[in-house]
Amino acid sequence: MESSWTFVETTLPYVPLPPNSQRQPIKTKRLVIRPIQENDLQSYHELRSQPEAMTGTTRGTPDRNMDESRAAMSDFLSPKDNKRFLFGVFFTSTGELIGEGGVHNLESSSCGWPEIGYKFRKEFWRQGYATEFLKAFLEAWWSLPRFHVKRLVCSSSIHRTKDSESDTTEQVYAYTDVNNVGSRKVLEKLGFAQFSEWTEPDTQEHRIGQPVMLVGYCLSKKQDVIETSEFR
């Protein structure tokens, strides 16, 4: 990742984020997007047991047992829900869990902006579910109450607002392997723009230390929703 970083004045959602108990299900044509619950553990483990679904994760390998899945699922539950905006993705017709995703990091170490990610079971790839989920999720993300902040961000991600020479348009960030054509198409279809490309040592267990090329994408917030002019 590039070494040039800049402090900017921008907006971000209030923290703590609304807890799972206050998050209403998001409904689309085929999906229900709702917070994962403890009784979803078995289906969540089935998702994380698929090697294909785990290729984009830091470790890059499926969970070895239920305990590993239970530990991973804690990121979706209280009290961690106050700093993460994560959801399970379920079929409306059957209630089956087919994926998960959301903002899992409010300040990415790669570029400073909130970082979004997702994963889906392999049998549901290339059917438009990731795009359907991400589009609906982003509408919920942008609708969260916001206020002005100062934030250190990657310089190449900066977009100035139309009404101010000093304020920077808020972004949401995602990255993927340069060869992950499917994920890149999903991001680009929803308006994400590539702003960086870099090589770093791989963290995945089967390729640890080998060079991997990654691409970073940002999506700008369309409308400003500001409730206070104070900085934190």
The pLDDT tens digits for 31-77 are 999 999 999 999 999 999 999 999 888 888 999 999 999 999 999 99
Question: What's the token pair of residue 46?
Answer: 């089935």
> What is the total residue count of the chain?
232
Model pLDDT, residue 164: 60
Residue whose structure tokens are 């991997």:
212
| Residue range 81-91, pLDDT digits in tens | 999 999 999 99
pLDDT at 163 over 70: no
Token code pair at residue 231: 């900085």
CATH 3.40.630.30 fits 5-220, yes or no: yes
pLDDT in the model for residue 211: 87
The rounded mean pLDDT for the chain is: 91
C-alpha span between 16 and 38 (Å, rounded): 21
> Residue 208 pLDDT more than 80?
no
Q: Which of 12, 140, 39, 16 is closest to 95 using CA atoms?
A: 39
Annotate 79-103 with DSSP letters as a single string. TGGGS-EEEEEEETTT--EEEEEEE
Could you tell me the pLDDT band of residue 225, with boundaries at 50, 70 and 90? very low
Write down the residue that tokens 């919920």 correspond to.
Answer: 140
Q: Give yes or no for residue 229 having a pLDDT over 60.
A: no
- The DSSP 8-state label assigned to residue 160 in this structure reads B
The pLDDT > 90 percentage for the chain reads: 80
For residue 66, give the H/E element and its range. Answer: helix 66-73
pLDDT score recorded for residue 20: 98
* pLDDT for position 222: 80
Res 224 pLDDT > 80: no
- pLDDT on residue 232: 31
pLDDT tens digits for 7-19?
999 999 999 999 9
| Span 132-142, pLDDT tens digits | 999 999 999 99
In angstroms, the CA 124 to CA 209 distance is 31
Q: Name the band, by pLDDT with cuts 50, 70 and 90, for residue 230.
A: very low
Of 220 and 222, the structure prediction assigns the larger pLDDT to: 220
Instruction: Examine the pLDDT at 2 and tell me if it is beyond 60.
Output: no
